[in-house]
Structure 1
Amino acid sequence: MNLTFPMEFHAKKRNSKPEPVLEPAIIEQVSGDDEDKEEQLLFDDFEDGAVMDGDDDYFDDEEFLEDEAEQYVGDGGGGGGIALAGTWWDKEALKIAEEVCSTFDGELRIYAFKTLSNSTIQVRIERLTNKSGSPNMEDIEAFSTTYRARLDEAELVKTITENTTLEVSSPGVERVVRIPEDLDRFKDRAMYVKYVNEADAEDLSSERDGVLRLVSFDMETKYCTWGLADVRVNREKAGKGRPLNKKQREWRLDIPFHSLRLVRLYSEI
């Protein structure tokens, strides 16, 4: 089992060096046979006569993680993007963050940026030279230290509010995948996918979900094809300790980009 951890830095006082706070969450790669660990199951039991033709009836949408609705693309947190509180100083704080990021020779990029009305700035950065997008501890520390110094300067000339609190971290192990920008980057990773059928796009109760793998996507037609990911939550429906069965391996879902409600990386922990 190979583990890495996301780092979060908190910096409050001017000219003080931020101290790292480690939060165990990121799993770059997991291998092992910890089959005894209980997991919530996504799919209805497979039987010899089960039909897997891309029909939504294949999924039990009542049975998966309940907190995905709290994440969405552009939320300024796990979903990335920019979320400003509407204060008089937050656009300047964002501008400074972008300027700091540009000093890292294109290796780092702001994944998410959020300001809060209590003078808190939350930044998530990603490393573009790493396929997973995860920055290392040195990346987090370097960005945090440089950005904190620039914020201190801005506070002195009063272009931003005083006593800002800075939090810098990684995108997170189950980061939201931006559609279609991130599809090619994470095409080899298992993903949690929440979607609706095109005919039911306006009916939120028709949402389905699953742990899937990306088979293909077409930027011109804006369609993508998904299959079942080879992960424990799917394999267990074929029987404990058994691989995906033929019906599972052949199951496909063809869906347009706009019918994808949420796509995020999936971690088997």
Structure 2
Amino acid sequence: MENVSMDDEGDDYYEEESAELYAGDGGGGGGISLAGVWWDNKALEIAEEVILSFDGDLKMYAFKTLPNFTIQVRIEKLSNRSGSPSMEDIEAFSRTYRARLDEAELAKSLPENLSLEVSSPGVERIVRVPHELDRFKDRPMYVKYFSETAETGLISENDGVFRLVSFDVETKCCVWGLADVRINREKAGKGRPLSKKQRQWQLNTPFDSLRLVRLNNP
């Protein structure tokens, strides 16, 4: 069984809408998540071999196995600034991987009737810090972060839609400004642009205070 999906229209093909993304979840958050079944390492090994056959243009963004004999793969296209593959890219990877899975099933190194689902990373993909900050620096990002209140020393969780001003891998810090998006403009008044105060506002965050950074879907 094989499914392909372009989920850049906002519908998440794999996760429930209420599920919160996190880095390394094997879904919208990218990375690898194995179910711990006897065949999942072999399935991953084959997927990694298949992705190499596309001459470096495609990369595996996420890989996940489920106990119900399902493999979920999200691929990205490195030559596309947004990282989104075309439907043709998804279908080409899916066909090649499906053929290799069928061979492994015949050889009894994988169980029969594995279900394969292939998709793009999604319009609100996780941005991996610091590795992908430069790649997506021109895109508005939704950021969830921890901060300490100076007066009380209490840690609180905050969020916002920001633009990346700068980052430093040596000091492991980011500087953010408010992104010029509707949710921020509305705080200045309906139909108004960002205020001068909003344009000048900046936030410094250590890398380890960032709980979630993902692309923001306007």
Q: Could you state the TM-score of these two structures normalised by the residue count of structure 2? A: 0.91
Specify whether residues 21 and 114 from structure 1 end up closer, same or farther in structure 2 by C-alpha distance, changes over 3 A only: closer
Distance 1:177 1:124, change over 3 A: same
Alpha-carbon distance, 1:112 to partner:
0.2
Determine the structure 1 residue equivalent to 2:58: 108
Number of corresponding residues: 211
Aligned twin of 1:147: 97
Runs of 4+ in 1 over 3 A off after TM superposition: 18-24
Does the residue aligned with 1:70 lie in a helix, a strand or coil?
A: coil
Correspondence for 1:194: 144
Q: Highest relative contact order (Cα 8 Å, sep 6+), 1 or 2?
A: 1
CA distance in 1, matches of 2:155, 2:27: 26
TM-score, structure 1 as length reference? 0.74
Normalized per residue, the structure richer in strand is 2
Match of 2:14 in 1: none
Structure 1 residue aligned with 2:205: 255
Partner residue in 2 for 1:25: 9
Larger radius of gyration: 1
Q: Partners of 2:80 and 2:4 in 1: how far apart? A: 21
Which structure 2 segments of 5+ residues have no match? 12-16
Secondary structure of 1:197's counterpart equals: strand
User: In the alignment, residue 25 of structure 1 is paired with which amino acid?
Assistant: E
> Percent sequence identity over matched residues?
70
Partners of 1:157 and 1:23 lie apart in 2 by: 33
- Structure 2 residue corresponding to 1:88, chosen from 28, 35, 38: 38
- Give the 3 Å change call, closer, same or farther, for CA 123–177 of structure 1 in structure 2: same
How do 1:53-64 and structure 2 match up within 5 A?
none
Counterpart AA for 1:142: A
Post-superposition Cα deviations, 1:23-57, rounded to whole Å, max 9, x if no partner, equal 56259xxxxxxxxxxxxxxxxxxxxxxxxxxxxxx
Structure 2 distance, partners of 1:260, 1:233, is: 21
**Quick one: which of 165, 183, 186 aligns to 2:133?**
183
Q: CA RMSD in A?
A: 2.1
Q: Secondary structure at the match of 1:154?
A: helix
Unaligned runs of 5+ in 1: 1-11, 13-17, 28-65
**SS in structure 2 of the partner of residue 187 of structure 1:** coil
